[in-house]
Amino acid sequence: MVFRFFPKTHNFFDLFEKQVSHAVEAACFFKEVVSRGCVTEDALSKMAAIEHQGDDVAHAIIDQLNKTFITPFDREDIYALAKELDDITDMVNNILTRLRVYDIRTVDKNLVEFSVVIEQSVRAVSRAIGGLRNHKNSQVVCDACIEVNRLENVGDAMRDRVLSELFANSKDPIAVIKWKDIYQDAETVLDVCEDVAHVVDSIMVKQA
């Protein structure tokens, strides 16, 4: 019998890569749906399924964390990563549900633009997570985190611009209520990606 001092710690990297792959899948599908314009029952079910899979991986990470004594990086960072990667998929799923609840049936070019930036940001998050496994990737990780931060600023400016336009042009208060929520949610996805990048950053600093 071999005593393993690092009991399957490599699993954390596998699990995080799996979890972020669901976030990427959610972001891609989100872009597809908002570019088509109408949120069907099928689209909602598919997104809910992706969200569910992401959830399962998050639970697997927390379970593994609770059972593991030695972890590849700080426990609170593992917990924060699992939680925030989960939040990305959740938030994207929430926006689809909201589009359905608000009965939005048109293609909105601002939302399409947001979905493009969201996909870019989640893909950068994926590169950052993928690079954590090996110290030789530190430049890749660093570049990916910088990109996530840049896209969060892009999203901030975009939200301010589209909200300014919305309030300046719309005479329909109900439409203002709806779109303010939707754009705000879209921007929040980019905030959550930035939170992930901050955690990754601090993992890198501690290991330097």
Asked if 100 and 44 touch (Cβ cutoff 8 Å), the reply is yes
Whole-angstrom distance, CA of residue 33 vs CA of residue 176: 22
Whole-angstrom distance, CA of residue 193 vs CA of residue 167: 27
The site string for a second copy over 141-180 (x = CB under 8 A, - otherwise) reads -------------------x--xx--xx----xx-xxx-x
* 101 touches a second copy (CB under 8 A): yes
Whichever of 67 and 136 has its CB closer to a second copy, that residue is 67
Whole-angstrom distance, CA of residue 69 vs CA of residue 129: 22
* 63 touches a second copy (CB under 8 A): yes
Which residues, 1 to 60, sit near a second copy by CB under 8 A? none
Whichever of 28 and 163 has its CB closer to a second copy, that residue is 163
* 106 touches a second copy (CB under 8 A): no
**Applying CB under 8 A, what is the total number of residues that bind a second copy?**
23
Whole-angstrom distance, CA of residue 144 vs CA of residue 48: 28
* 71 touches a second copy (CB under 8 A): no
* 74, 78, 185, 198 from 69: Cα distances, Å: 11, 13, 37, 24
| Residues 104/110/115/120 CA torsion (nearest 10 deg) | 180
Whichever of 13 and 79 has its CB closer to a second copy, that residue is 79
The site string for a second copy over 78-97 (x = CB under 8 A, - otherwise) reads -------------------x
Whole-angstrom distance, CA of residue 162 vs CA of residue 143: 28
| Coil, helix or strand at residue 193 | helix
For the CB of residue 206, give the shortest distance to a second copy in the complex, in Å. Answer: 5
* 70 touches a second copy (CB under 8 A): no
Q: Which residues bind a second copy (CB under 8 A)?
A: 62-63, 66-67, 97, 100-103, 160, 163-164, 167-168, 173-174, 176-178, 180, 202, 205-206
